[in-house]
Amino acid sequence: MQEAYNELNEKLAELSDIGAAGALMGWDQQVNMPPGGAEARGRQMGTLGKIAHEKLIDSRVGELLEILKPFEEEKGYDSTEASIIRIARRGYDKAVDVPPSFTAKWQKVTSDSFEVWIKARPANDFKMVQSHLETNFDLCKEYADYFPGYEHPLDPMIDNHDFGMKASNIRSIFSELRKELVPVVEAITSQEPADDSFMHGHFDSAKQIEFGESIAKLYGYDFNRGRQDMAAHPFTISFAIGDVRITTRVLEDFLSSALFSTLHEAGHAMYEQGSDPAFDGTVLRGGTTIGVHESQSRLWENIVGRSKPFWGHHYPQLQEKFPDQFANVPLDRFYKGINKVERSLIRVESDEVTYNLHVMMRFAFECDVLDGKLAVEELPEAWKDRMESDIGARPPDDKDGVMQDIHWYNGIIGYFQGYTLGNIMSSQFYDAAVRAHPEIIDELGQGKYDTLHTWLKDNLYSHGSKYTAHEILKKATGQELNIGPYMNYLKTKYGELYEL
């Protein structure tokens, strides 16, 4: 049995290395690659994806998984050995139903689509990228057909990102959350909007990057095992526990963009860096689902990074960095400004209260397109109408409408729900950490994050992808997924800010 287990691990390590090579190509495409490399890069990524897929569904992998069933049971569910076998089987069982040629096509098509989006968005030209987006959704439908019996054609894609979830689950959670959120949005936006004019002006790019990285280091992001670069849309990518990279986007006329993107991506990266070192090169390295991953980025970006204790400590440092902009802005005004609630156009720059309405809209569009209720060519106007009805802000163009997010154009469909699941879980994880260590709240006001970071490493990060989202949430917090702690957080924080 041990020999079979060792053989399986060797095959999985090879797959991990191929995956890392493909990921490195993806990082390079968004950070360094010259435009002339786009066509070849899509082909190269398709080739690597096909090779990895063929190796995963090799008949010997299936044989080893079958041979190791008694070994898996003997070791016990929580053991590293059983977990590697269990997670490998999950991947094998799903991949074996999909032809490697489809994976190659998917990688090539979505890489090409991304390159067109990069040009189409600043040109505000949806027609330029429309056919590529239609192909991406068609491929999503084709992928779903490899899994007959699904409730909704989006389900197989959701399962890839948030294992165990279906469109019906997401709709139920979103319906419950919307009922709680909309009255809060109405109550706040009926008031005079908070002043955040001081966040707009001229902010030197180098100083922005320096300040954001200084906070990320304090949080616990290890720059010896990571780096930050610029990208059109901020993201985190992991090649190994010793190489987890983040990106940000700097706007010289708006401070929030780079700062909070850096804090957000640092949360993702700390999760990846916190995996048990023994998991490197195995299927257990890294986060368990997109929702759990987003819980960490949103926790460090918002619950910590937009809190009053945090800024009570760090605001004088920001004032020193940008004296002309903040010398005459008191802390209370700054704190309310960075937590301004408004009916805005851009998801990544929206506030905590309205953010989930943006996510719900995107999820609904994915369902409608795959259901055949909405054609891709109808998306631009449908987007404007839905933004106006759901959020109260109508995009003047497609650049800040249907083309604002990279996801669909990069073939990432069935992903958006993870942001809201992450928001919900972020409060559950944070509350559990504070229950275990009440001193965390005072430490935020002292610029100390070790206690919180250590609790998260011990109770979440170190487990990598060993457990499902449901399992890790239960283990770490003692709770099932529920919106209670999250809504309590929003109502308490914004109730005080806006005297609700």
Residues identified as active-site? 265
What are the distances in angstroms from CA 6 to CA 53, 60, 284?
A: 20, 13, 15
List the structure tokens of 91: 């991947």
CB 283 within 8 A of CB 92: no
Tell me how far apart the alpha carbons of residues 432 and 455 are, in angstroms, rounded to a whole number. Answer: 9
SS (H, E, C) the chain: CHHHHHHHHHHHHHHHHHHHHHHHHHHHHHHCCCHHHHHHHHHHHHHHHHHHHHHHCCHHHHHHHHHCHHHHHHHCCCCHHHHHHHHHHHHHHHHCCCCHHHHHHHHHHHHHHHHHHHHHHHHCCHHHHHHHHHHHHHHHHHHHCCCCCCCCCCHHHHHHHCCCCCHHHHHHHHHHHHHHHHHHHHHHHCCCCCCCHHHECCCCHHHHHHHHHHHHHHHCCCHHHCCEEECCCCCEEEEECCEEEEEECCECCEHHHHHHHHHHHHHHHHHHHCCCHHHCCCCCCCCCCHHHHHHHHHHHHHHHCCCHHHHHHHHHHHHHHCHHHHCCCCHHHHHHHHCCCCCCCCHHHCCCCCHHHHHHHHHHHHHHHHHCCCCHHHHHHHHHHHHHHHCCCCCCCCCCCCCCCCCHHHCCCCCCHHHHHHHHHHHHHHHHHHHHCCCHHHHHCCCCCHHHHHHHHHHCHHHCCCCCHHHHHHHHHCCCCCCHHHHHHHHHHHHHHHCC
